Amino acid sequence: MMGDVVVVPNSEGPQRPGGTGAPDACADGGPERAAPAPAPTAVRRGRARYDHDVLVVGAGIVGLSTAYALTRARPGVRVAVLEKEAGPARHQTGRNSGVIHSGVYYRPGSLKARFAVRGAQEMVKFCAEYGVPHEVTGKLIVATERSELPRLHALAQRGRENGIPVRELGPAQITEYEPYVRGLAAIRVGTTGICDFRAVADRLADLVTAAGAELRYGAAVTAVDRREGIGVAVRLSDGSVLRARALVNCAGLFADRLALLSGDDPPARIVPFRGEYYELAEERAELVRGLVYPVPDPAFPFLGVHLTRGIDGGVHLGPNAVPAAAREGYDWRTASADDLARTMAWPGVWRLARRHWRYGAGEIHRSLSRAAFTRAVGRLLPAIRVEDLRPAPAGVRAQAVLRDGTLVDDFLISEAPHTVHVLNAPSPAATASLPIGREVAGRVLAGL
C-alpha cells in the first residue's frame, strides 16, 4: 500500500487556490467558514523565491521512491518530503502482506504489468544491496473449482506475455510444494517473493536525507496555492508556508483531496477498502510453507484471501476487501462522518454498489463472521479450523473509483501545471515503487 499523508482542514479552512477553480469548500469537508484564512501566497512573477525545487507530499514507499529518484536523477535538486505522521510508511506501505509481486495478474502493456515485472527485480536487488530482509519464494495460484480452470489457464498465458516464467501443475504437484493445500490445478510463479516494505521505506528515507533532501514529519498540508508559470505554495498544519517550483502528490488515501486542494478535478475519487488479516496460530503454522493464492475474479482488482508466510516466519491469511467507514478505518469501530459523506457523494460509489452488491455483501459477511472467513480459507486449506485464527493488524487500500463506478485497475498518474498527482497506486505499488518513483520524477523534472 502507498502515500501516508492526510490532507487535513486548517481550523479556519483553506481558500480557493489562486483562482485555479478549486471547490468552494475545503477539500476535507465541512461547511464553508464565515471568515476563512487566506491561502498561502505563491511567489510573485519576476521575484521568484523558492524554499525548494520540489515538494513531495507523502512519505509512503511511493513518495520516498520519488524523492530518491529525484535526488539520483538530478543531484543538487532541492527536495522536501512532507508527512503528517511522526515517521514514514505508517499506512498502506506498513500495513500490507509484504509480497513482492511478479506481475502475473496485470494486463500486458499496462503500467502495473511493466512496473511490477521491473519493480520485482529491482526490489530484490535493492533489498540485497541495503540489507533489507527478503526472500524469493515463488507462489502457487490454485484453482479449487472447475469453473476457475479457464481463468487459471488465461492467467498462465498472461504471465508468459509479461515475460514471467510460469509452470502449470496438477493436484499431485501442488502437494509437493504445499502438502496441506488442495486444488484441481495450479500455476507456480517462481519470481514472487517477500520482504519488509517498512524497512525498505526506512532505508529510502535514509538515502534521501543523505542526498540532501529534507523529510518533515508532523507536516500535514492544509492549503495549496498554485500559480501557472510561477510555482506552488503550501501551508502546513503548524502555520508555516513552503514555496516550490513543483508539487508531487503521493498522498495515498488522500490523493484525491490533495488534487482538489491544488485546484484540479481528478477523474476518480478514493474509496477506502479495509483489508483484514488473521494469523495462523504458531502451533499450526506448518500448514503453509510459502505463498498460496486463489484464482482472482477478473471483475475486481483484489486478489482474494491468500496464505502468506511472511519474512518474520508467521503465516497470514487475508486480506478481504471491506468498505471502510473512514479513510484510516482499520476496524469496524473507526468511522468518520466526513469521510463517509464524501464517499457517498461520489456518483461512482452508488454505481459500483448497484453493480457489485453481492460481492460486497459477501466480503462484509466474512468480515463479521470468523467462521465464514475460515470457510473461505478452507477452499485452499481444508485442514484450517476457526480456532487456528488469531486477529492481525488490518490495512486500508486506497482504491480509485471513476464517476461511472469503474474500479481503476491500473496505476493512475496525472499532470497539471507545477503538479504531478499519483491518484491510484494500490497493490502492487510497493513492489513497483522504484519504477513508479522514476516515472513520476521524470515528469516533474521535465517541467522544472
Q: Are 423 and 231 in contact (CB under 8 A)?
A: no
Is residue 30 in a domain? no
Q: What percent of the chain has pLDDT over 70?
A: 89
Q: 57 is written with which cell numbers?
A: 507530499
User: 16 with 142, same domain?
Assistant: no
Among the three residues 364, 384, 402, which one is the final residue of a domain in this structure?
Answer: 402
Helix (H) or strand (E) holding 420: strand 419-424
Q: Kindly state whether residues 110 and 252 are assigned to the same domain.
A: yes
Q: Which residues contact 286 (CB under 8 A, 6 or more apart)?
A: none
> What is the pTM for the complete model shown?
0.89
Rounded Cα gap, residues 6 and 28, in angstroms: 9
Left, alpha or beta for 373 (phi > 0: left; psi -120 to 50: alpha)? Answer: alpha
Indicate whether 154 and 302 sit together in one domain. Answer: yes
Measure the CA–CA gap between 60 and 329, rounded to whole angstroms: 18
**Exposed, middle or buried by CB within 10 Å (0-12, 13-18, 19+), for 238?**
exposed
- Residue 159's pLDDT is what? 97
Query: In degrees to the nearest 10, what's the CA dihedral of 316, 318, 319, 323?
Result: -130
Say which range, 26-30, 37-41, 197-201, 301-305, has the weakest mean pLDDT.
26-30
Task: Read off the pLDDT of residues 379-419 as tens digits, 9 standing for 90 and up.
Answer: 999 999 999 999 999 999 999 999 999 999 999 999 999 99
Return the bridge partners of 248, or none: 56, 420
Of 387, 402, 417, the residue that ends a domain is 402
Any domain includes 229: yes
Backbone φ, ψ for residue 48 (5° rounding): -65, 125
Residue range of the domain that includes 159: 136-192+270-402
Domain count, the chain: 2
In a domain, 367, yes or no: yes
Is residue 37 pLDDT above 90, yes or no? no
| Residue 410 near residue 107 (C-beta atoms within 8 A) | yes
pLDDT for the residue 94: 95
Rounded distance, CA 429 to CA 417, Å? 25
Assigned domain for 26 exists = no
- Answer positive or negative: Cα dihedral of 75, 77, 82, 86: positive
For residues 343 and 419, membership in a common domain is answered with no
Does a structural domain hold residue 58?
yes
**Residue 424 included in any domain:** yes
Q: pLDDT of 77-117, one tens digit each? A: 999 999 999 999 999 999 999 999 999 999 999 999 999 99
342 and 283 co-located in one domain: yes
Question: 93 and 83 in one domain?
Answer: yes
Whole-angstrom distance, CA of residue 310 vs CA of residue 211: 31
**Does 89 share its domain with 229?**
yes
Say whether pLDDT at 38 is over 60: no
Task: Please indicate, yes or no, if residue 244 is contained in any of the structural domains.
Answer: yes
At which residue does the C-alpha cell 487556490 appear? Answer: 17
Residues 112 and 218 placed together within one structural domain of the fold = yes
Residue with cell string 518530503: 81
> Is 150 buried (19+), middle (13-18) or exposed (0-12) by CB count in 10 A?
exposed
Same domain, 62 and 185: no
169 pLDDT higher than 90: yes
**Position 28 in a domain:** no
215 and 67 inside one domain: yes
Residue 147: pLDDT band (50, 70, 90) is: very high
CATH code, domain carrying 324:
3.30.9.10
Q: Are residues 46 and 129 in the same domain?
A: yes
- CATH classification of the domain holding 418: 3.50.50.60
The pLDDT score that the predictor gives to residue 21 is 34
Cα–Cα dist 300/304, whole Å: 9
DSSP string, 282-315: GGGGGG-SSEEEEPPPTTSS---SEEEE-TTS-E
Residues 246, 352, single domain; the answer is no
Classified as helix, coil or strand, 336 is: coil
Q: Which residues contact 11 (CB under 8 A, 6 or more apart)?
A: none
